[in-house]
Structures are given as structure tokens and as C-alpha cells.
Amino acid sequence: MHPNFAKAAEGPAVPIFFVNAAMIDEATGTLDDRARAFVRASGYEPKAGRHLLVPGADGQLAGVLFGIEAADAATKDLFRPGQLATLLPAGLYRFANTPHDTRLAALAFALGAYQFTRYRKADARNARLVVPDGVDGDDLTRIVEGVTLARDLINTPSNDMGPQELEDAARVVASQHGAKFNVTAGETLEKNFPLIHAVGMGSPRSPRLIDFTWGKESDPKITLVGKGVCFDTGGLDIKPDSAMLNMKKDMGGAATALGLAHMIMARGLKVRLRVLIPAVENSVSGKSFRPRDIFKSRKGLTVEIGNTDAEGRLVLADALALADEDKPVLIADFATLTGAARVALGPDVPPFFTDDDALSDELMRAGTTEQDPLWRLPLWRPYEAMLDSKIADTNNVSTGGQGGAITAALFLRKFVDAKSWLHLDIFAWTLSAKPGRPEGAECMSARALYALLTKRYS
């Protein structure tokens, strides 16, 4: 079980009372007279996110009050209890009453305790929560482990997270679950995955395609593809410094795929899982690919390079073509692909694209249930004309600069024949700390898809 979770048998736990204006009297009614007098004297107001440590007669904590939104509030942050992990002193705690969603409150508690301490020490967050009755602590642990894995990989700076290090991390995940592991690199990569090779050939850190499989061959095939651009300078169409500053997170799609893969394998879902990660660094050198270069993709389509900073879709194109050859029942790719997605939906809500209406509806429901929001954008076919090239089958960027997230998805669609293909254009980052979501790397959309797959294949 995750270190921030505990079992009831481990000993007495400090009660956490979730309160709002309508609940506070009932909640504090279980406290003794001295503790209730302290609450009144403190002037505590049960507003969302506010807490109060209530002392007992013995000097120990008698309880914790924590404000949540009213039951009839127009919007409720089901992850708000994630703040508790950063507020509470070390100790063992339990939920004394019911928050808006007990399972998500417990999950947020553990996710809110996350710290990235590889390069800087921090005081440990040793508040532990007794897993509430009726909540599957083992499954919460799998989810927290997957999210933590993704966050750690994304937070790691690029000098310690190049294609080789990403391969090493994927190898550890595969080995942990007994998956079959393979890497394609060098001349074999150039011959069979020319777009992946083209993007990575300007860097001394050689490109590669990471590929591992797990599960029974007779089970439904699910393939996850993660964009693994370990740093993106933009190539010869170099980014300005402000746009390059956070490009260590451009392998966030790969990290998300690995985090989700861990959840799936640890749960033992009845699927034949395949994970494909094109791992490259898009660098500037005399060997870098150039604007107006043309490459023949694995699928056979020729691609004119309109912009070397639209490299993510190139490496995904070859990986998706390989994924499609297996004819899986579902292909899902994760990529920090376009700034246009952030303009359209902001940093917190990743857009997704699919032609499968049933899959879309199911994923939207799962995203809402899991507090892992997503929103569908259209694969609007008339925009395909924006990708036309006069001398190749397609350009890698559109003309005009509008609808960038859609045209990027339409470019990828050219390399996949499967109807049940899902493209997720994620940000993989939290700009400022939120309950359960510390500032920095974030594993977006994986929990929603895990819930969908668990429902289908448990």
C-alpha cells in the first residue's frame, strides 16, 4: 500500500471533519465541550479549503476541521481534500464523516503529498490516511504509483532524461511486470521508422523506438503511444527562449503512457498491452532535418517539412503506423503536441480527438467521474486541405496557422486506419499548485482512460 495510506488496525487516528455552514454543528457535535469551546473561540469559518487543528485536553489533536463546498454549490472541487497532505502535521488520520466523494478525497490526499526531491531535499510529508471503508486502497495505490512515475519523469531535467534515460525508465516498468521489451535504433530505425530518425538525427543522443508488450496474446489488444521528445529546441526553426524554457516536459506523453501502463499491468487487466515510445531529442546541428526536406514515412506517405518545430507529430506518425499494423481494438496516443490546444481549452483541460462516438462518450463520463477532465474536439475533415503539399503527399503543418490542434490531429489521422483511435493533446504540467496537484509535472488523462479500461476489461 502507498506510504500515505494506512489500515485501520494500525492504531488510533485523528478524525478529519469535513464541514461547511450546513454541516459544522453536526460535525463538531462529536467533540467534547472543551474542544467545541475552542472551535467557537477560534472564530473558524467553514469556507472551502480552510482548516482548523483542534487540541484535546491531553495536548494531542482531538480533530481537524476542513472546509468543503456546500452540497448544492454550482461547482465542487472533489480534489480539495488534497490540500490536507500539505497542511497536517505528521500522524495518522481518518475521515470522520463523508466528503463529496470519499474515494477521490482519499486519492487526492495521497497525490497532494507528492514531492520531487531528486535535486533538493524537502521536509517529508508524513500525514497518513486510514483508507476509508468501501474504498479499494490497493487500486488507489496503483493509481498514485502511476501518477508519481509520470510526474517524476516529466520533472526530471533533460540533462538527466534523454532518449537513453527514457529507455531505461521504460525498461524498469516493463521488467517490473514481466513485459517483453525491444528497442529499435541506428540503421534499423532509419530504414523502418524514417520520421523518428529524421527528428532525432541532429542530436548526439541517438533516437530510438521503445516497444514493450504484456499480457496474453488472446486478450484484446490495447496499444498506448507516447510522444518522447526529451527536449525540443524547435530544431532549425528554433524556439524563442521563453518557449524553450519548459521543453523538458515534451516527453510528457511518454511519461503518461508509462504511468497508465503501470496502472493497467499492476491491476492485471485482461488485455494484450503494447506500449510504443518514439524517444528523440530535437536539436540544432549540421545534421538536423531542415524545412522543405521530404521524408517517406513508415506508412509510405511522403511528408514535406513545413516546420521543424512540428516534430512531435512526425515521431508519432511512424509509431502510430506500427501500432495500426497490429489492428488493436484501441490505440491511444498521448502528446504534448500543440500550443493551440492550450489556447482553445487552457492548461487544465486536454482536448481529445476520435471518430468513435461511443468511446468519446465513455471517456467524457470517466473524466468527469475521476476528476480528470477532458473535452472532445472535432476531426474536421475539411481542414485536411490546410495540410496539402505541392510536392509531397502531405505537409507536417497547416497553412494559415488556425485550428492548430485540429490540423495536427488530422495529420496523425493519415497514419491510422483504426476507428477506435484516441489522440490526447495534453499539457502535462500544473502552472500553479491546486489541491492534489502540486506545481510542476502532471499526469493528465491517464486516470480517466484507466477507469474506462478497468470498466471494460477487469
The catalytic residues are: 239, 313
Output DSSP code: residue 131.
P
Measure the CA–CA gap between 352 and 426, rounded to whole angstroms.
9
Measure the CA–CA gap between 449 and 267, rounded to whole angstroms.
14
Measure the CA–CA gap between 333 and 405, rounded to whole angstroms.
14
Q: Tell me the pairing of strands 221-226 and 272-282.
A: parallel
> 16 pairs with which residues across the strands?
64, 95
What are the φ and ψ backbone dihedral angles of 58, each rounded to 5 degrees?
Answer: -90, 5
Measure the CA–CA gap between 401 and 304, rounded to whole angstroms.
17
For the chain, how big is the Rg over CA atoms in Å? 24
Q: In angstroms, what CA-CA distances link 408 with 379, 403, 421?
A: 10, 9, 14
Q: Residue 217: what residue type?
A: E
Output the DSSP codes for 255-268. HHHHHHHHHHHHHT
- Three-state DSSP class for 456? helix
Q: In angstroms, what CA-CA distances link 241 with 309, 310, 451, 453?
A: 14, 17, 38, 40
Q: In the numeric block, which cell numbers belong to residue 231? A: 527536449
CA atoms within 13 A on the CB side of 342: 12
- Give the per-residue SS3 of 408-442: HHHHHHCCCCCCCEEEEECCCEECCCECCECCEEC
Measure the CA–CA gap between 122 and 445, rounded to whole angstroms.
28
Q: In the numeric block, which cell numbers belong to residue 297? A: 514515412
